[in-house]
Structure 1
Amino acid sequence: MKNIVHVIPHTHWDYEWYFTVNESLIQLVYHMDEVLDSLENNIIDSYLLDGQLSIIEDYLRVCPENKDRVEKLISSGKLLVGPWYTQTDEMIIRGESVVRNLNLGMDIGEKLGEVMKIGYLPDSFGQGIDMPKIYNGMGIYKSVFWRGLSKDKCSDRIFNWSSEDGSKVKVVNIKDGYFSGVELVEGSTMENKESAYEFTKIIAKDNNSTHVALPVGGDQRYVDLNLKDRIQKANELLEDKGYLFKESNYNKYFNDLENENCELKEIKGELLCSEVSKIHRSIYSSRYDHKLFNDKIERRLIYEIEPLLVMAEQFGMKYKKNLVDEVWKIIIKNHAHDSAGGCNSDKTNKIILDRFEKANELSYTIIDYVTRKISESIKGIEKNDVVLFNTLPFSRNKAVDINISTKSKYFKIFCDGKELEYQTNSVTKEYLGQIKRTKEEYEKDKYYYVTNVSFQTKMDPCSYKLIKVIESEDIETNNKAKEESFIENEKYLITLENGKISIKDKESGEIYEDCIAIEDGGDEGDTYDYSPAYNNKIYNLNFKDSVALCNKGKYKSTLTVEGSYKLPYSLKEREKGEALTKLKYKLDLVLRKESKTIEFNMEVLNNVLDHRMRFIFNSKIKSKYSYSDTPFGYIKRETFDENINTWKEKGWKEEPTPIYPMLSWVNLHNEDKSVTLYSKGIKEYEIVGEDYDKIAITLFRSVGYLGRPDLIRRPGVASGNQFKYIETPDSQLLGKLSFNFGIEISSNFEEANINKNYQKYATALSYYQIQDLNKFTSTIKYFVSNSLSKDISFDGSIISLDKCKDIVFSCLKKSKDHKGYILRVYNSKDSYIKDSGEVILTKKLDSLKLVNLKEDTIKDLDTKEFILGEFKPKEIKTFKFNFK
């Protein structure tokens, strides 16, 4: 019986890279004409357009006259598209973003005729642990990828890959990359029988089936018009060698695999190994500014905007789903693997940054408008009143900071009919009249005060709360900063002595002496990878010679540490040991009343080239494993890779440094205690120290090239463009950089609580004040607006997960068909949950369905109660419901 080589014509179309999306659009327009002509004239039988619909959308925007041709070819199965909108990064993009990406791509593909139901990611830098269950939730049971698989995980190229909940996809691992078949059509391989046979043995190596996949294509590659001739030539040469080449596609290939029904190995887990391909295990810290922007917008969409609009619709405001989808589409364009990684030219990164700016403006303005509209429509609302919004579906009891504008310098605040004690953090005097040439011309009676206050109040899930502000003539309560060196709350005591920060955990009595450090080392890598300088010097820095100020209050205390570090300006100065450039920093450590999270807010004025800066916390927990969140769960990773000393001899593509991605948190724990570091935008960590007890998070990297050859961690040719140095001075990230993260010390590791606590930490309580003094609290505050036609009178929660146990909130939004609401939750544990509790609603249910990630109905549920039921390990559940 012959082995069948499935020759699969395709192109890999990077949405953007060292070129911009605008530059590649020109080639795309003409390329697509070539594709359509070739398919219609049977020059090729079928063609895979890289599994992403964004490029089809771009093409049809420019060439709408060809829509009928595109639809006909897609419907006939000749032009294969989808399932993605853009080919996502799998490591640093949140689960909701991945789901929305697939939904967007599949919806567009289905409208055009048909979508390829194969999880096709030929170039993503590693395969995420949750992908099988995400695929299954979208009705996808097959997958094709290249990077990340190691031989010790699976030496076969065809296998089953499963998640902890039992979800499973049949995988084809591309041999030697998506471009491995180019030799067939343009090389000298098929000139004689011997070379043709050698080439075929190479492409069939490790193939555990009589069917071999041979992708013929490459980056932005043209249609190979000679494909049929080259296949015929190959078959003439190999007629007696047991191989038959045939033109094919992945749909046909998987069908033949199904018919063969060969036994396949079963594997689980994350695939993040550099044995057979580069994996770029430190790309998670490239272009920190982009990662920060993306994380902020993702969190705002998932935890604020979508739940807020569900609330608003109950008050009479229409849920503008298409507007929210527009924001999603903008940032999903930035989730393509190169775009998300930041391994692009500066001009491309500027376009990515522009998209983030647009999405940021749209997203924060949605919150500004909706909170204002609701607030101004509340029955009995009065001047100066403040409305707080909790958009998370669980209760919160947090010390919050808000700005209050008043004519008088002094005021009292009331909540639920009782006077509320508050802490004044700062007061500024502002002018509300028309601006003049000089301030001396301003009218004295047209000044007002903006006071930043902190206070604590309990918020019900998905609800608002009215805070009444009554102006008065009380004594001033403004706190004064003091030159002290300690702060404390019920949970922690933090001290600064001789440049060393120590933390006492009051619950356990344990003291973490000198537990915080800043590490700075040379980086002779590129935008793909960190790599230490060939002549490196690492600076381990504390806070010596800094200035410390304390601002203490009942609800919030801040220890501010300011200073500068002397560092080498360049790699040349680092090699010489010259550290003459002052890099200024400011670190705020914040403790809030009753909070178990220590907040760190840091600013750095980066004026140094080619370096990596990390924050290091000594947890005092010796650990062989670290724990971090994934799109829909968490993962346990080894803190030390045994291949670290032998990878070069084994021929690995890059050093297996235990640098790992994180979405929101990283944890170390043992039987006695647990330390979790929360992040807002920082995406990379490593466990360091002789005992692997220190958590290092990469604050940022400064590098000046898209790709460099012969890195210490990645020898050989440059990543990206191998034939030209592409300078990226913007990727040096010169200027002010801000970092926000937190640390929580507890007695045990409970992953569901960690996720909930993170969501509380990372999600602001939105607010709006009824006042006409300050017309610029938001950009659109200046615009006039009518209140809603019906006064809002509401007390309680729209929806509450307070009675749910051990599950993690993922999203609350309008359904795709606009006919209901979607609640998605998941079990982050690797064990069964027998009873996950009940969702509490203020209105009675009209319908309740269990649906998949594509929002197709799995089954109808009883509407008497909203019971979540049992959960398999790491299982995702999506519910569609509507109110009567």
Structure 2
Amino acid sequence: MSRDIKILMHTHWDREWYFTKDETKVLLRNHMQDVMDYLEDNPETIYILDGQSVMIDDYLELEPTEEPRLKRLIQSGNLRVGPWYTQTDLLLVHGESIFRNLYYGIKRAREFGEPMLVGYAPDTFGHASQMPQIYQQFGIESTFFWRGFSELKAEKSDFLWEGVDGTRIFGINLATGYQGAKYLESDPKLLSERMAKLMHVLDTYSASNSRLIMNGHDQMPLQRDIKQVMTEIEKLYPEDNVSLTDFEGYLQGLNKDELEIVRGELTDSKHARIHRTIGSTRMDIKLLNNEIETKLYHTLEPLAVIGERVGIPYPHGVVERIAKLLFGAHAHDSIGGCNSDSVNQDIKQRLINAKEMVDTQIELHLRLLTMANKATNNTIVIVNPSPEKRAGEMVSLELITRTKNFDLYDESGQQVDYVLDHQQSEDAGLIDRQVAARLKDITVYRTNIYVKVDEMRGLSARYFTYEEVETKRAEVKQTKNAMIKNDFGQLFIEDNQLHYRHKKTNRVYHNVLSIENSGDAGDSYDYSPPVTDWVLNTQAEADLSFTIEKTALSEVIKLTLAFSVPSNQTERENKQTTARVEFTGTCRLFENDPKVYVELNHTNTTADSRYRLVFRTGIITDEVKVDGYLSDQLKPVYLSEPLAIWEQDNWVEKPVSIETMQSYLSLKRDHQFNLYTKGLKEYEVVDGNAYVTLFRTFSHLGKRNLINRPGRPSGIEIKTPDNQLKDTSFTFNCAFDFEQIETQNKQANRYLTPLIGYQRKEFNRFNLNPRPKVKLDDTDVTLNLGQCVVSAVKCTEDNQLLIRLYNPMDQPDTLTLPEGSKRANAMEEPLQDVKEVTVKPQEIMQFIIHQ
């Protein structure tokens, strides 16, 4: 039977790695000029531009007059672009970032021609189990990838990939890699040897007569002698057909009915490295990225929806700019942190720029909302960024006042109680330059408080007021009794350890939270235990000092955990501990809330180390429930099958049982533990203990012969001293409880989408005029979404309200929507009218809601 040898010409374009994005922009200009010249001279040729539309923008930034020429080649089908904006990581970033990356990638490609609707992700370190549905929502029915496949998934590399919701698309593992046929030799003898190796692999794994030859590599120039090479291949295989192709051309040779079905994540590391522990590399970058994503999707966009409704124009351009700055940091190398120090510095600075934009736009919207309340200058606005009703929740609020003391009042004039968290005095001239310019000497007080809000409708704002007073508030009660409590449980200190008593079951969780320090002999791709390790834990070695404060609304333990650890790997090997490290922070309980809210602050002083939170739950189970992209899923605690065979089967990397979540994990047997995190995504469960990595430090971009990763280095062996994170300060946030619930995903979403509070301040960095057309709005847009969870609340480009939601539960849920609502696709285009809709388990839906 003759084979169809299909040659796909492409380049893989890492925008940055051990080289910077500005270096590759200059190289891209030369590359595109060469490619376009060749395609114009050879109009039968197809060239794949790595599936990312950002290459259009990067090229036209330097050659704007070439846009018509580029457009002609895309419209003719010679040059294939999209669907991604950038080649993103598919496990570590926010689920909304995946949607927006595809949205902006397809949108930009459409401006030049038909986008390539193929889920091309050649070098990504694993693929989330919700990707088939996400792809299909954009009209994408296939994915082509390299990393994550093994014969434990299927015998053949062409299969049907079934996502967590049951959606099936074509899954094509590039068995010889995206780079397998790079620089094909024109010499007949050398080409024969090369092709024999390629064809052997493809004959083994291909599920049809087609053989996909990937002719490209990282920043590889187009192979100009490809026609000569094809002539030689035809001589080698005279009974086979040889042609140039695109991905769609390869798919035409597959028969769905003959393909195996593969389910779940694609994270096996037999043929290509997955780097399961890259989730804790450069945690300063990862936490900063998570902060921006959370503010953009959970705060700014819903806040801007409220603003648009009352007359504040929706900031489409600002949102797009922030998103594209994020996408530039979301490539697998970029967000992975596996780069040279100079590149990581550049990524961090771009994220800092994005944070400045998102913070400023949030504050601008909130200031304009407070200025719309013309009754008083002493205005506080409370905003619910969720389309669902919220009740009895706490809002964090910062006030700047001339007096240390103040009272709060709601709309009806009733005084509102609050919890003082922190207060400091400062010079108003450092806030507002007009104060300094007028040589005024004004001391103000910056105060952080928690306020309980009784009820808020969906996507609504309420207006409180404050009054500066001289009368001192009742002092916060401090006690030597080493315990805080609420109606759900007690957190107490005994024998230098934290313990928790769950009130309903009376079960005590001894040493419930501690911090572990161990060695790290790995590199920027993988944690690796040292040959000689020494693991230390605060449960035995730490000094725990604390104070306790109690009010009617909140009780808090303010603590310091200090313990001695090795400064570097040499000290660890010699069992020396010359570094004294501290974690300071709070464990807080609110009334009517089962969660223990934890905040820890730390400045790193040690090298070659890994730090993890350890939650001692006592729950021995084989599986853990976590959230993935817009979904719930169960993951095994231990990868027994791969770990049983990886050495004798010559896997390129040990499949360690360290996994990725988005924002929560839950363990359950006869009792239950739920953990919610902000940006901490790497976890391991061992013997009833849940370990969550805080950060790790190491010395090189790549190393060879790691314990869990034999052989060559990943990347290159260059020193990266910045990866030791010396003097880097961190703030870690999480919350946990022991409640018997199934709605962890919804709880996690609320944890990441708190109520927003903002004071109209007397002193500001910038002056604003109030917008006269802004009018306070009393429209009720509260939605009853049942068990479904909101992923996005935003305006479409024509300023209609779009809600993206999903059902993380095992049972379908039926929703009733307002009159005039429409189903929408992932490109936010309206489809059919809808009044009542059933959302299947793990299903994602978009709606345009009539306001």
Q: TM-score range by the shorter chain?
A: over 0.9
Could you say what secondary structure the match of 1:253 adopts? helix
AA paired with 2:840?
A: K
Deviation at 1:17, TM superposition (A): 0.7
Q: 1:574 & 1:409 partners in 2: Cα distance?
A: 49
The corresponding residue for 2:807 is 827
Could you say what secondary structure the match of 1:583 adopts? strand
Deviation at 1:358, TM superposition (A): 0.8
Where structure 1 has 5 or more consecutive residues not aligned to the other structure, the ranges are 776-780
Contact 2:429 2:441 in 1 (8 A): no
Could you say what secondary structure the match of 1:513 adopts? strand
The corresponding residue for 2:247 is 250
Contact 1:331 1:359 in 2 (8 A): yes
Could you say what secondary structure the match of 2:789 adopts? strand
Q: Report matched runs for 1:479-878 at 5 Å.
A: 479=476, 481-542=478-539, 544-642=542-640, 643-670=642-669, 672-689=670-687, 693-721=688-716, 725-750=717-742, 753-772=743-762, 775=763, 781-790=764-773, 792-795=775-778, 797=780, 799-801=781-783, 803-816=784-797, 818-833=798-813, 835=814, 837-839=815-817, 847-862=820-835, 867=836, 869-878=837-846
Q: 1:111 & 1:764 partners in 2: Cα distance?
A: 38
Could you say what secondary structure the match of 2:12 adopts? coil
Deviation at 1:492, TM superposition (A): 2.1
Give the structure-2-normalised TM-score: 0.95
Contact 1:327 1:363 in 2 (8 A): yes
Q: Deviations over 1:506-525 (max 9, x none)?
A: 12211101122211111111
> Percent same amino acid among aligned pairs?
31
The corresponding residue for 1:165 is 165
AA paired with 1:647?
A: W
Contact 1:404 1:450 in 2 (8 A): yes
Deviation at 1:43, TM superposition (A): 8.6
Larger mean Cα displacement after TM superposition, 410-419 or 194-203? 194-203
Could you say what secondary structure the match of 2:185 adopts? helix
Q: 2:160 & 2:643 partners in 1: Cα distance?
A: 28
AA paired with 2:636?
A: E
Deviation at 1:261, TM superposition (A): 6.3
AA paired with 1:19?
A: F
Q: 2:746 & 2:634 partners in 1: Cα distance?
A: 19
Contact 1:344 1:706 in 2 (8 A): yes
Q: 1:150 & 1:645 partners in 2: Cα distance?
A: 14
Contact 2:632 2:745 in 1 (8 A): no
Give the structure-1-normalised TM-score: 0.91
Q: 1:198 to 1:615 in 2, by over 3 A?
A: closer
Where structure 2 has 5 or more consecutive residues not aligned to the other structure, the ranges are none
Deviation at 1:796, TM superposition (A): 6.3
The corresponding residue for 1:317 is 312
Q: Deviations over 1:404-463 (max 9, x none)?
A: 333444333222332223333444344446999xx9xx9999444444333312241221
Q: 2:154 & 2:632 partners in 1: Cα distance?
A: 22
Q: 1:163 to 1:473 in 2, by over 3 A?
A: same
AA paired with 1:385?
A: T
Deviation at 1:756, TM superposition (A): 2.5
Q: 1:188 & 1:700 partners in 2: Cα distance?
A: 52
AA paired with 1:828?
A: P
Could you say what secondary structure the match of 1:185 adopts? coil
Q: 2:407 & 2:617 partners in 1: Cα distance?
A: 42
Q: 1:124 & 1:140 partners in 2: Cα distance?
A: 18
Q: 1:761 to 1:739 in 2, by over 3 A?
A: same
Q: 1:284 & 1:469 partners in 2: Cα distance?
A: 44
Q: Deviations over 1:252-285 (max 9, x none)?
A: 222343xx66611122211111112111010011
Contact 1:427 1:478 in 2 (8 A): no
Q: 1:196 & 1:331 partners in 2: Cα distance?
A: 40
Q: 1:434 to 1:300 in 2, by over 3 A?
A: closer
Contact 2:817 2:834 in 1 (8 A): no
Q: Report matched runs for 1:171-570 at 5 Å.
A: 171-182=171-182, 184-185=184-185, 190=190, 192=192, 196-197=195-196, 199-239=198-238, 242-257=239-254, 263-380=258-375, 382-394=376-388, 395-415=390-410, 416-432=412-428, 446-460=442-456, 461-479=458-476, 481-542=478-539, 544-570=542-568
Could you say what secondary structure the match of 1:514 adopts? strand
Could you say what secondary structure the match of 1:735 adopts? coil
Q: Deviations over 1:137-190 (max 9, x none)?
A: 001112111111121211111111122434221122101311111263368764
Q: 1:69 to 1:486 in 2, by over 3 A?
A: same
Contact 1:519 1:616 in 2 (8 A): yes
Q: Deviations over 1:282-320 (max 9, x none)?
A: 001111111111111111111111111111111111112
Contact 1:189 1:199 in 2 (8 A): no
Q: 1:189 to 1:305 in 2, by over 3 A?
A: farther
The corresponding residue for 1:778 is none
Deviation at 1:570, TM superposition (A): 1.3
Deviation at 1:98, TM superposition (A): 0.4
Q: Report matched runs for 1:69-148 at 5 Å.
A: 69-148=69-148
Q: 1:285 to 1:409 in 2, by over 3 A?
A: closer
Contact 1:399 1:556 in 2 (8 A): no
Q: 1:91 to 1:288 in 2, by over 3 A?
A: same
AA paired with 2:660?
A: P
Could you say what secondary structure the match of 2:321 adopts? helix
Q: Deviations over 1:188-215 (max 9, x none)?
A: 76455x7754542233221110011110
Contact 2:278 2:524 in 1 (8 A): yes
Could you say what secondary structure the match of 1:595 adopts? coil
Could you say what secondary structure the match of 2:529 adopts? coil
Q: 2:63 & 2:103 partners in 1: Cα distance?
A: 24
Contact 2:184 2:191 in 1 (8 A): no
Larger mean Cα displacement after TM superposition, 37-46 or 521-530? 37-46
Q: 1:237 to 1:307 in 2, by over 3 A?
A: same
Contact 1:91 1:661 in 2 (8 A): yes
Q: 1:37 to 1:821 in 2, by over 3 A?
A: same
Q: 1:606 to 1:810 in 2, by over 3 A?
A: same
Deviation at 1:590, TM superposition (A): 1.3
Contact 2:426 2:443 in 1 (8 A): yes
Q: Deviations over 1:635-659 (max 9, x none)?
A: 2111112232442121011111110
Q: 2:284 & 2:666 partners in 1: Cα distance?
A: 24
Larger mean Cα displacement after TM superposition, 804-813 or 242-251? 242-251
AA paired with 1:594?
A: N
Deviation at 1:703, TM superposition (A): 1.2
Q: Deviations over 1:710-731 (max 9, x none)?
A: 000101000012xxx2111111
Could you say what secondary structure the match of 1:870 adopts? strand
Tell me how many residue pairs correspond in the alignment: 842
Could you say what secondary structure the match of 2:849 adopts? strand
The corresponding residue for 1:51 is 51
Contact 2:176 2:201 in 1 (8 A): no
Deviation at 1:746, TM superposition (A): 4.1
Q: 1:495 & 1:188 partners in 2: Cα distance?
A: 76
